[in-house]
Structure 1
């Protein structure tokens, strides 16, 4: 946690058996890790807690009023169903004590594993505690093994299992009755919410006051926030949650602000635009008009390159929005200034395509050189010689161009295409290729639209430019959902592909796997011998050694229908491809589907993307696919993706449990916090750089690694 770490081993505070139980169930070994296990909800007075979005198999805790009972004897087993608020069924087996302890109209907490039977949520053999009894001053624990006390004896609070065992961490009435808000924690089959609550209560009682790490006043101190998120006062947990969200956002903001400060401390070659140069010649003789967005971004980059500070700019835009032309103008501005420009592409196919298209577009006198790992020795030797001698003006290649044996004569600008395929380390490798004590200007591009909050957290050290318009002549891609449970739709989709091929066009069919049912190999064989008999069907997947050859063959029009995995997501432009069928689209992410869809419609022809799905009607998966079909804006889809998947997946990680960087901050809903900490982090780095560096040193190893990778 930013500014504070509690590295006390759990065994130092809790009993050995309790520490071992928590470590086994949750993976936590320190007090700090346990205290960062935040509640998912709270129970307050008469406010009941439901299931939320819990999935089947999860351990959940709910509260409510008993509305009915049902008892059924099978001969060997007695089944008792208790209805809670008319919506949840608690099922008990051979548990006659339930009928003695519970009654209609009673309010209880229940904790157990969630199951669904005919869409009816059920808790099987849950533990429970009677809530009503806490209002009685003489309430004590009732043991389910004893008969119900006779009238006239003092009332005993009724509890079972884990809720009863909560008393090992303190008196149950103190833990539950005297709290305005009772936390409900994410739990597992090995450890319940109530056990976690008791352990955290005990650890907090043994935690000394936390010193405030920031050098400015906050609405609530870090010490209060850590305590109140678990044990809120009458005002509730809101202030504590907001403070801890702020800390999470600030931790990322400080790393980005320090990275930006380091970049600004470097020196770059000033490359102002040249009158009568190659860039001006290109712009004068373009066979098409630039969009307003392209002109705006070209001017932004022109201003950046004119400064002696290294440009650090992210250019994002839809597939086909004209980013390559903007990058070409930037590279020619560098060439006009007497320096070299390098473009780093994620695949050899894309590098070769860029070399061909840019080599054709630039004016005579500009030498474009391609460098890839698979080039023949003689070609590679010549390319390396052209680069080191300065004969090469624009160098385009894969990560082969960041190898140690590649030396540039005078590198002034680096362009990174498809930024999400490269890490910070690869960007930095190209920085070292400039002349001593100089840094090249850097432009990174992505066709995957990035929500503002993601851009500020992951690319906070970069200025951001956005292209939203499509160049003239481009037609929007039509999309349609093809449901497997409507066989006529599936047949029509195949007919549509055949019609496009009959008109001289080409098609992609994307599969979620290589082998097995619905995989590339099986489907290609079925189609070649069935609906597409007589057509040229090709296959492409990541395990093939000749991927580039197949893609090039498709680009030349030698394949009518390419059955492929997602390796085509970033690939060569095929203007003649006008239809794409994505099989089992529910297995792909929102951004990935949009990226795949952008492979068609690149030649000015009307194009269509067919999203096949096996998801049942009205399910979340089917609704998600329908939303994608209805939305052509990648930026709207990026926001949808962020809301559905949250930061872990969106940022390309699969963090969970103690390794999550963001536990409370929601990048879809907390834009105001992200923007505030973005500003505050920059101010702290300018005002108190020593404190900023100290605070980021406190970040855990996994958090630092997460930020560096992105």
Structure 2
């Protein structure tokens, strides 16, 4: 049996009650989980401070000093033990409020001690409360723990009540390494270790927990990051190859009248070079006889829907049906309206299916779908209901796929005997390294050009003190015949959050923009679908000049006449959300504006976000900064993907390493996809069994 799969209760020093709390609080179920509970920081015990150099705001410090005086001060609750410690630069006070009798008995005046703790000050003197004390000796200076980088582990109050604070966890991990370090087997080929100068696996685990020095710690981290990213990329690429071999795809071997008529007679604008490139990539994919799985990234307004439509027209020309699945009714309706406006009536049979579709319409729709008359179906989760049966589904387009679970997407694939080709679209630009990790098993296409004639949106940052200027600007734009969005972070006032809210906003807007000269639409998540649609339509038709809304309008609203987006408390929104909201304007030929309203008090991150929005309209540049600020785990969609459960590597800061690792894995698949060559036996074993030490499959 793999010793690292041993249940945690059987490790020396754990037992049943401690095991229970480790499982509940930290998810540590076995020895492997404990070994992979890495320190979150290290306390530097490699140097000694002189008393005169101690500052209260320093982290933990270590001092070598002689005890010169001790006394107990006060009584009962105010009782404390104060000991003076002196080196050649000054005197500091050591204070104990608990365990006084034991401490007084065991610490000896006149002796030198290694003193370790968090410094403070009292009456202008350096002070330390409840420090760790060890009598000085040459042996003490060499002992593990002193003169090293000490690991600090995440713990909880519950764990601490079982003596499982940093010290307690250190001790358990020390025992585990002592017993089983020899069982940590290598899982990377020797030539990879040599080529990338990687530490061996045993030493890496020892040094991540108990580093000999800073250089060894860096080597250990680098090795474990490489390993973690290596097996993640290996798994993604293996899935890609497996799917290519397992899932045959329908061959779209011709471009027929649907595509050609649309391209020559109906397309209202010339395609950008980026759109042409992506269409070509999709065309090649759908001719190979294997299922296409392609991610289409494109900034807001870059023309992804047109590319998706033209890809579906190729499928229709080859005798297949198609569908688009969107996460919300608003977005599904938007896609339907856009496609209907592009193809017109009588070109290809197109329908919309959502939760709001009446039963009578559904029956007709189901019939047309089953007999093959209906060629393009657009909808929400309703598309994957069992009642929805296609005659011959050939292509599926999934918009904002991270909002759908794996099982939901798979249900669509099962709607046809031969799995349909899949095009996944996202308007949230994803940094290259994150795309390689989240969508590493997909081919990636990028539309990195905006259609000709689009003017870049001008973004301004106004503080609360500029509100009157903002109102004046709104009136100027409305006087030109334009429309304005005003977005609030909350619907109602909150006791906990000091933020602008939509209800107060409507009051203010109604005063500032009174009837009959101005009309306001109101849209938020608590409205019923019919009410929401009614308010949207009023704004779309130009019956209202201002739409006051929450982030429900983040996607799926297309009003070319709207030229101003005002975002209240903009500092409280993430960069990708700000970018999405800004993308609601700038859809016509007129100059558009985005005004970011914020309070005077801004956090450093808040200031960076707003400055970034003012500085650039490039979604990919914005996404890189967002990744740096928020980390990969918080980027929209990455949590539910389950891919980014990384323990050591960080997609935001380890981008170069990830690219290096990806190339390394690609090379292996090119030369030896079955891992049959002698030098890859170690890899083959690591990926097939759990007997080679720690199990790699947990990484992703």
TM-score of Structure 1 vs Structure 2, range by shorter chain: 0.7 to 0.9
Return the offset for 1:513: 1.3
Return the offset for 1:577: 1.1
- Greater alpha carbon shift after TM alignment, 664-673 vs 36-45: 36-45
Return the offset for 1:102: 5.8
Secondary structure of 1:207's counterpart equals helix
Aligned length: 630
- Aligned pairs (5 A) from 1:350-429: 350-362=331-343, 365-429=347-411
Whether 1:157 and 2:136 are equivalent positions in the alignment is: no
1:121 is aligned to: none
1:150 and 1:345, CA in 2 relative to 1: closer, same or farther beyond 3 A?
Answer: closer
Secondary structure of 1:563's counterpart equals strand
2:204 is aligned to: 225
User: What is the Cα-based RMSD across aligned positions, in Å?
Assistant: 3.9
Instruction: Tell me the distance in 1 between the aligned counterparts of 2:207 and 2:35.
Output: 11
TM-score, L = length of structure 2: 0.80
Instruction: Tell me the distance in 1 between the aligned counterparts of 2:378 and 2:21.
Output: 55
Return the offset for 1:523: 1.6
More helix by share: 2
Return the offset for 1:36: 2.2
1:393 and 1:25, CA in 2 relative to 1: closer, same or farther beyond 3 A?
Answer: closer
Return the offset for 1:225: 1.6
Kindly indicate whether the alpha-carbon contact (under 8 Å) linking 2:325 and 2:399 is maintained by their aligned counterparts in 1.
yes
Whether 1:303 and 2:284 are equivalent positions in the alignment is: yes
2:151 is aligned to: 183
Structure 1 stretches lacking a partner, 5+ long: 50-58, 67-74, 78-92, 111-123, 128-141
Whether 1:583 and 2:571 are equivalent positions in the alignment is: no
Instruction: Tell me the distance in 1 between the aligned counterparts of 2:536 and 2:91.
Output: 65
Secondary structure of 1:579's counterpart equals strand
**Equivalent residue in structure 2 for 1:543, among 519, 522, 526:** 526
Whether 1:145 and 2:129 are equivalent positions in the alignment is: no
TM-score, L = length of structure 1: 0.79
1:327 and 1:233, CA in 2 relative to 1: closer, same or farther beyond 3 A?
Answer: same
Return the offset for 1:639: 0.5
Structure 2 stretches lacking a partner, 5+ long: 50-56, 65-72, 118-128, 495-499, 676-683
Write out per-residue CA displacement over residues 147-177 of structure 1, whole angstroms, 9 at most, x where no aligned residue: 97555xx52333578863999xxx9756546
- Aligned pairs (5 A) from 1:285-364: 285=265, 286-362=267-343
Kindly indicate whether the alpha-carbon contact (under 8 Å) linking 2:8 and 2:29 is maintained by their aligned counterparts in 1.
yes
Return the offset for 1:327: 0.9
Return the offset for 1:185: 4.0
1:503 and 1:703, CA in 2 relative to 1: closer, same or farther beyond 3 A?
Answer: farther
1:71 is aligned to: none
1:241 is aligned to: 221
Whether 1:612 and 2:616 are equivalent positions in the alignment is: no
2:492 is aligned to: 515
- Greater alpha carbon shift after TM alignment, 325-334 vs 188-197: 188-197
Instruction: Tell me the distance in 1 between the aligned counterparts of 2:80 and 2:401.
Output: 60
1:367 and 1:197, CA in 2 relative to 1: closer, same or farther beyond 3 A?
Answer: same
Write out per-residue CA displacement over residues 250-305 of structure 1, whole angstroms, 9 at most, x where no aligned residue: 3432332233133212111110242x522122222333221111111111111111
Kindly indicate whether the alpha-carbon contact (under 8 Å) linking 1:327 and 1:415 is maintained by their aligned counterparts in 2.
yes
1:245 and 1:166, CA in 2 relative to 1: closer, same or farther beyond 3 A?
Answer: farther
Instruction: Tell me the distance in 2 between the aligned counterparts of 1:697 and 1:304.
Output: 38
2:180 is aligned to: 207
Kindly indicate whether the alpha-carbon contact (under 8 Å) linking 1:44 and 1:181 is maintained by their aligned counterparts in 2.
yes
Secondary structure of 2:34's counterpart equals helix
1:53 is aligned to: none
2:549 is aligned to: 564
Instruction: Tell me the distance in 2 between the aligned counterparts of 1:159 and 1:449.
Output: 48
1:663 is aligned to: 647
Kindly indicate whether the alpha-carbon contact (under 8 Å) linking 2:335 and 2:378 is maintained by their aligned counterparts in 1.
yes
Write out per-residue CA displacement over residues 84-112 of structure 1, whole angstroms, 9 at most, x where no aligned residue: xxxxxxxxx98662x6036685899x9xx
2:234 is aligned to: 254
Secondary structure of 2:282's counterpart equals helix
Write out per-residue CA displacement over residues 389-417 of structure 1, whole angstroms, 9 at most, x where no aligned residue: 11112221222111111111111111112
Instruction: Tell me the distance in 2 between the aligned counterparts of 1:60 and 1:204.
Output: 32
**Equivalent residue in structure 2 for 1:650, among 629, 635, 641:** 635
- Greater alpha carbon shift after TM alignment, 498-507 vs 445-454: 498-507
Write out per-residue CA displacement over residues 400-444 of structure 1, whole angstroms, 9 at most, x where no aligned residue: 11111111111111111222322322221111111x2x1111111
Instruction: Tell me the distance in 2 between the aligned counterparts of 1:702 and 1:609.
Output: 46
